Amino acid sequence: MADAIPSLIDGARVVTGRRLPVLNPHNGEPIRDLSLADAAIAERAIATAKTAQPAWAATPAVQRGEILFKACALIEERAEELSRIVADEAGKPMKDARGETAAAVQCGRFFAAEGQRLFGRTMPSNTANKYAMTVRQPCGVAALIAAANTPAPNFAWKVFPALICGNAVVLKPAEDTPISADWMARVLIEAGVPAGALNVVQGLGSEIGPVLVEHDNVDVISFTGSTRVGRQIGAAAGAKLKKVSLELGGKNAFVVCDDADLDKAARWAALSAFSNAGQRCAAGSRFIVFDAVYDAFVDKFIALAKKQKLGVDDDCDFGPVINERQLNAMLAAIKTAEAAGARVLTGGKRAGGALASGFYLEPTVIEGADPTSELSETELFGPIAALYRVPDYAAALRMANASPYGLTACIHTRSIDRAWHFAYAIESGVAVINGGTFGSEPHMPFGGRRASGNGTREPGTEALDIYCDLKDIYLWTDPP
């Protein structure tokens, strides 16, 4: 592990003299150096993908799927190796890293199977002797910019659908979690993906991102990350009329009604707020509770928050946040909220003792924040839960919808009428009844509204619409 993590272009290692240490978030210690690519390397990767794409597109989709199935089998065979990488670079217990590796394989197999479908449609024409149909064709070169929170599934969500549709890929992993992306890309190439059809550019988003987004030879862009950066990418892509998919942040509402099973609601609330250290775009962060059960629910919720065990052993509930910059931003947001009158009921501090060198935030529960404050309207991406009292269902729904975001939401109630109304009335891409705010599956579309994205969906078959262009074909015949 002494050598720096390179960019991967046409199967070859590409390194520069610039280095960035990759830190283990659990203890702040360096794992390995990352070789930082520059704009010229990014342009080289795009040119390589452009050259390789026609041959990959000409490979029958069923054969592309067979190659991706082989890649999934290799990942599964070596799952412990990938899980250890994920655990170290993302600061996770091995049980969580193993779960993410399994999720990546499941997602990969779903899209590999789409090679046997890639459905178009045939439709009747209004004109005699004329036949109408649609076919899917690849976009060309896909620039994929991934997040660090679940590195193995994030790779699978983007790379597998882009490849099965016949695109060539230039992947920009998060600089905090580059090792798993390098490992997975090499496995896919070993399985038979042409080296030039899968390129990885390792570097800083601020330097590499603009090249990928603005380059004329990039045909489709997929980005998962913050709303701020998503807006920048959307504006740059829009100026060139590029196809773009944006999966952005969330400030997801978790509604607890007066008829809820409070033990169940509290258990799901703790999982929504704290699992994966709150580093989910689908994490629960706004807990909207009916006044009639507020005190009882809060007592149960805080008791569970205090029981959360921090660390990376398999009996731990969650690990650190990804880096110290993120941790400091969360601590500053908590301090600002307190200065404005909010009250921290538990947590709110960096973990000490044996965890002091890591990037750990205690599970934090806050009440009394103004619903329009920064704490209430900004995604913090950490284990921070804000509580709000409301008198009834109508007020809860209004508050849940009064957000810049619209990604996920859930409600806890025994009323089927109330639950079903909420599922349709909540302004979000995902609605959950009597569960958590998270839990996406690879065959289901995921995405949000407003500041949570631009309306596209990944994964699911809906992802094929991102990575394919649809073409109408008309055939005229002369009757014999």
Enumerate the active-site residues.
Answer: 247, 281
Half-sphere exposure of 297 (CA within 13 A, CB side): 30
Q: How far is CA 177 from CA 172, 180, 343, 400, 436, in A?
A: 11, 7, 34, 33, 26
Q: How far is CA 332 from CA 39, 361, 364, 378, in A?
A: 34, 12, 13, 13
**Contact call for residues 239 and 250 (beta carbons, < 8 A):** no
Count Cβ atoms below 10 Å from residue 249 Cβ, excluding itself.
Answer: 23
Please list, in sequence order, all residues whose beta carbon lies within 8 angstroms of the beta carbon of residue 378, skipping any fewer than 6 positions away.
251, 333
Please list, in sequence order, all residues whose beta carbon lies within 8 angstroms of the beta carbon of residue 166, skipping any fewer than 6 positions away.
53, 56, 57, 59, 61, 64, 137, 138
- What dihedral angle (degrees, nearest 10) is formed by the CA atoms of 126, 129, 132, 137? -160
Cis before 459 (ω within 30):
yes
**Contact call for residues 452 and 249 (beta carbons, < 8 A):** yes
CA angle 51, 56, 62 (to 5 degrees): 175
**What is d(CA 33, CA 1) in angstroms, rounded to the nearest whole number?**
9
**What is d(CA 104, CA 111) in angstroms, rounded to the nearest whole number?**
11
CA 352 vs. chain centroid, Å, equals 29
**What is d(CA 114, CA 109) in angstroms, rounded to the nearest whole number?**
9
**What is d(CA 241, CA 282) in angstroms, rounded to the nearest whole number?**
29
Of 202, 200, 151, nearest to 180 (Cα)?
Answer: 151
**Contact call for residues 7 and 45 (beta carbons, < 8 A):** yes
Query: In angstroms, how far is the first alpha carbon of the chain from the final one?
Result: 71
Q: How far is CA 108 from CA 264, 286, 361, in A?
A: 33, 32, 33
**What is d(CA 47, CA 212) in angstroms, rounded to the nearest whole number?**
11
Of 74, 197, 73, 57, nearest to 118 (Cα)?
Answer: 57
